[in-house]
Homo-oligomer: A and B are copies of this chain.
Amino acid sequence: MFTNTLIGAVAVAAVNVAAQGTSATTPAVPTGTPIPGDYTGPLRPQVHFSPPQGFMNDPNGMFKDANGTWHMYYQYNPTGIVAGNQHWGHATSEDLYHWENQAIALYPPEEGQYVFSGSAVIDVNNTSGFFPDQDNGVVAITTIAHGGSGPQTQDIAYSRDGGYTFEWYANNPVIDSTSSQFRDPKVIWYEDHWVAVIAYSQEFVVGIFTSPDLKSWTWASNFTRHGLLGTQYECPNLVKMPVRDRDSGDLLEETYVLALSVQPGAPLGGSITEYFVGDFNGTHFAPSDATTRLTDFAKDNYAAQYFYGTAEGENPVNLGWASNWQYAQQVPTGNSEGWRSAMTLPRANYLTYAPRIGLTMVNEIYDMSPVLEDGDALAEQTMGNGSVVVDYSDVASGAVFVDVTVTGINTTLVSSFTTLNLTLSAPASGEALQSGFYFGGDTPFFVNRGLLRGFDNIFFTDKFSIADVYSSDSSALASWSMQAVVDRSIFEVFVDRGTHAGTVLFYPTQPLSQLTVASRDLPEGAQVSVSVRALKSAWAEYEDESGVVAGNVTETIAKRHMAYEAAF
């Protein structure tokens, strides 16, 4: 264990401080100084990214480089456990689970400024002119907040070492503004030009801009007042997405998704992400309908960003910020473990035609094999009505993956008691995280975190649910599935092959260590396949002899990389 010298006595007092960047004090940021991370705390996720210490929020600047390395930056206050003093932290991964903490990548250009959310691209063709003799130049496009309530401008920085260190462009801003509510540029390449989507947050407008060179930008169109407004638009993402056949996975067509984060004022309270499906012609996004769709049925997935640079035709991959501004700055990990916020699991997305509701974004957990424990599963069982109980208290990570598939469901014979439940519990304290599906009636899937006692907060809603139309034919033999990852203080569940996703923070006073999958009143002929796998800690292998995982350092990259290569 290490002494938490950096965080020190930063107390968590403020309830509902402004969402971004209004830190009252700016302690010295540890330029070039390693930030020690203790990833062993009982609430610290083991297969999710979280910063070594301090406060994290939105994922930023994410891209996959030509070597296959995933780069993730993130809104980071390295000197506190609430938002403020915003920098871009940085981490890299070969597999999206094992993350190497890198040096802080973007510092404010001047005192009193904050580096807010933004994106990054690889300027392969040197459109910017920053990279005369290389094809792996990285340009970050981000919002600079000129003080907590000053103007927000769009600025760029370039990296000639593949994204590890950046120089601010001399002629910033590239998009000037007098507005204090103009932020979160996300840039993609469209045929022959760059496209940025930027939120005019409190006007409920997504501005679409184009550029030949990432330096000079031209306003092209606005996407205005769509969907749920909350009281601010943030973090727009425009992404090309395949539409796939629900059963075969075959590509049917490609279309665009405009994802938009809304905060505060979401229906579930606080922050949420919605998305719109439509056509994009290089300058204008035209939604194919007026439907408002949500990415998540719970309330702990915000500001997800898609990686730039994944291969054409592949399902785009995102990470979201697994929290909610209503309590992100109050969750107990800050005081007990010196960090706050993790990213979601990496998710690959495509669209499909779900029964009844039509075009819907499917979430697939990105290949988890790098963190699946070798050897036998904790459980691998097929049953009709019955239950599987797994004591996983000796899984070192405390993290497990649960995969349940129910087949041969005669939907005309399901009753209002036909259920499949997954319950995680802490036998010592009696706490439990409940989830389950009712196959009859309104077919709700639910999650209840109200039986855990580690966090008391007026906005920490206990129960979430979504109706899943799992079969389009009432007489068919239907199938239904759920996949879930439980990781100390994060529960992520993917219902009906990812048709619905739920991201749920939970805070037990004792570690959850027992798992029950139980089916009840299934019609004859239905079969339940249950697979429970232990997950390996993605962090344990980076610990030094004293158990510390360093952050804010790059000098160990080569060493770590060799260790990583040796491990697989």
Contact = CB atoms under 8 A, between A and B. Distances in A.
Interface of A: 14-19, 202, 204, 224-231, 263-270, 272, 287, 289-294, 297, 325-326, 356-358, 416-417, 434, 436, 438, 440-444, 446, 448, 450, 458-467, 469
Contacts of A14: 416, 441
A416 B17 contact: yes
Given A450-B462, A463-B459, A270 B442 contact: yes
Contact of A225 (B19, B270, B291): B291
A284 to B, nearest CB: 14
Contacts of A469: 231
- Which 4 residue pairs of A and B lie closest in terms of their CB atoms, listed nearest first? A16-B441, A265-B467, A267-B267, A264-B467
Contact of A467 (B231, B358, B466): B231
Contact of A450 (B358, B450, B464): B450
A226 to B, nearest CB: 4
A411 to B, nearest CB: 12
Nearest to A14: B416
B465 A462 contact: no
Which of the listed residues A289, A465, A466 has the most CB atoms from chain B within 10 Å of its own CB? A465
Contacts of A450: 450, 462
A465 B269 contact: yes
Nearest to A434: B458
A325 B465 CA distance: 13
A465 B436 CA distance: 25
9 contacts: A16-B438, A226-B289, A227-B290, A264-B443, A264-B444, A266-B267, A459-B463, A460-B463, A461-B463
A455 to B, nearest CB: 13
B227 A444 contact: no
Contact of A202 (B204, B269, B356): B356
Contacts of A224: 289
Contacts of A290: 225-227, 287, 290
Given A225-B289, A289-B224, A416-B16, A465 B270 contact: yes
Contacts of A270: 442, 444, 465
Which of the listed residues A15, A228, A442, A462 has the most CB atoms from chain B within 10 Å of its own CB? A442
Nearest to A442: B264
Contacts of A264: 442-444, 467
A229 B291 contact: yes
Nearest to A231: B467
